Amino acid sequence: MITARDRIIAALEHRALDRIPMCETGIWPETIARWEQEGLPKGTDPLDYFGMDRVSGIHAIDVSFFPHVIYEDDGEYVTDLNGYGTVVKWRKQRSSSDGHMELEHKVTTIADWREARARLTVDESRLRPAQPARPGDFLTLNVVDHCWMSFCMCGMENLCCWLLEAPDEMREIYDDYLDFLLGMLDLCVAKGMAFDALWFFTDMAYRSGPMFSPAVYREVIEPGYRRLREWCDRHDKWMLLHCDGNLDVLMPELVRSGFDWIHPLEARAGNDVRKLKPLYGRDITLVGNINADILAKGDRSEIEDEIAGKITAAKPDGGYIYHIDHSVPSTVSFESYCHAMDMVNKHGQYQ
């Protein structure tokens, strides 16, 4: 019996198995609630209902620098200090970044960083128990990398300024943090933790392009990914990236950094697997790019055109995994998604 892990590894190795992997790693609770009103049996996991290939994420490493403090909770919004030293006001009922407001950052200078980094100790107390996965799942250790850590700690505006104005200090920050993270990864392996890949969720781009130039990425950020790639090679692990936004100018950098897949290839940001496959299809597995806005419209012919056109272009010789181009929002009806799954099954077969 072919498992989800078999299919996903085949895609990562650019091999064709029975069909393309069919994955979703984020379906909004509001979406499931809607689908249950429209025909999904109540309490049924949509991944099981549609026979999809499951990616099970393990969140095992605590990378916090600061103790969590709740300042206010009015029932709708919480204001708290998170583990990165950022004071955030956030809405409790939300499925996207809407309702997330950063109010203050405790780390705004290199001196602040040097004080905070003293709290980064490689210790078993930072390991969280992993949830049991189903047999045959593809297992990812979901880890906060150096780039996303700095966005969360410093804030987007501060970080972009630091990358340009203080690259040496940013290299120091990244080296310090990666010394800690790689030590924690070694500890995970020593403790016998089973996983297939490291998966980083690191948004580096907007709809029009990256938040920083390719040159800044190469000179300041990429060396850290090279260290992580070397660790993956030593331990026979895949290295995966989630990155929103338009990746046209960043894709060559990500390929050179050694990522094995790129997800979710937002269609509304201009990414298109029909263009990316000829350019990068031998070097990186493409995950997603099925336009959620088209599924939300509900036009059956448009849904088939979207799925058939992209899957037909991306699936040859493996290296493509079905996924919507982000999380599945509640604007997508159960009927539309059922039709989409029919089209994936129709056009995603290799045999």
- CATH at residue 210: 3.20.20.210
pLDDT attached to residue 185: 98
pLDDT attached to residue 85: 95
Same domain, yes or no: 91 and 52? no
- How far apart, in whole angstroms, are the C-alpha atoms of residue 227 and residue 233? 10
Instruction: Give mean pLDDT, residues 64-78.
Output: 93
Q: Last residue of some domain: 56, 74, 106?
A: 106
Same domain, yes or no: 259 and 326? yes
pLDDT attached to residue 132: 79
Amino acid at 119: R
pLDDT bin (cut points 50, 70, 90) of residue 99 is confident
pLDDT tens figures, 150-207: 999 999 889 999 999 999 999 999 999 999 999 999 999 999 999 999 999 999 999 9
pLDDT attached to residue 100: 84
Q: Please provide the distance, in angstroms rounded to a whole number, between the alpha carbons at the two ends of the chain.
A: 15
Which residues contact residue 140 at a Cβ distance below 8 angstroms, ignoring those fewer than 6 apart?
55, 56, 57, 58, 195, 196, 197, 198, 199, 240
Same domain, yes or no: 70 and 193? no
- How far apart, in whole angstroms, are the C-alpha atoms of residue 266 and residue 291? 7
Range of the domain at 274: 4-65+107-347
pLDDT tens figures, 1-23: 999 999 999 999 999 999 999 99
pLDDT attached to residue 131: 79
In three-state secondary structure terms, 43 is: coil
pLDDT attached to residue 325: 97
Same domain, yes or no: 150 and 133? yes
- How far apart, in whole angstroms, are the C-alpha atoms of residue 150 and residue 213? 17
Same domain, yes or no: 102 and 114? no
Q: Last residue of some domain: 49, 79, 106?
A: 106
Same domain, yes or no: 215 and 119? yes
Same domain, yes or no: 91 and 164? no
Same domain, yes or no: 88 and 214? no
Same domain, yes or no: 85 and 184? no
Range list of H helices, 93-218: 110-117, 146-154, 156-165, 167-190, 214-216
Scanning the structure block, which residue is given the tokens 């969140």? Answer: 59
- pTM strictly above 0.85: yes
Burial class (CB in 10 A: 0-12, 13-18, 19+), 350: middle
What average pLDDT does the chain have?
A: 95
Same domain, yes or no: 189 and 72? no
Nearest CA-CA partner of 151 in 207, 208, 76, 100: 100
Same domain, yes or no: 96 and 117? no
CA 219 to chain CA mean position, Å: 23
Instruction: Give mean pLDDT, residues 66-73.
Output: 94
Instruction: Give mean pLDDT, residues 229-253.
Output: 97
Nearest CA-CA partner of 223 in 257, 198, 190, 273: 257
Asked if residue 97 has pLDDT above 60, the reply is: no
pLDDT attached to residue 52: 98
Same domain, yes or no: 91 and 141? no
pLDDT attached to residue 42: 97
pLDDT attached to residue 98: 64
Domains contained in the chain, number: 2
pLDDT tens figures, 293-331: 999 999 999 999 999 999 999 999 999 999 999 999 999
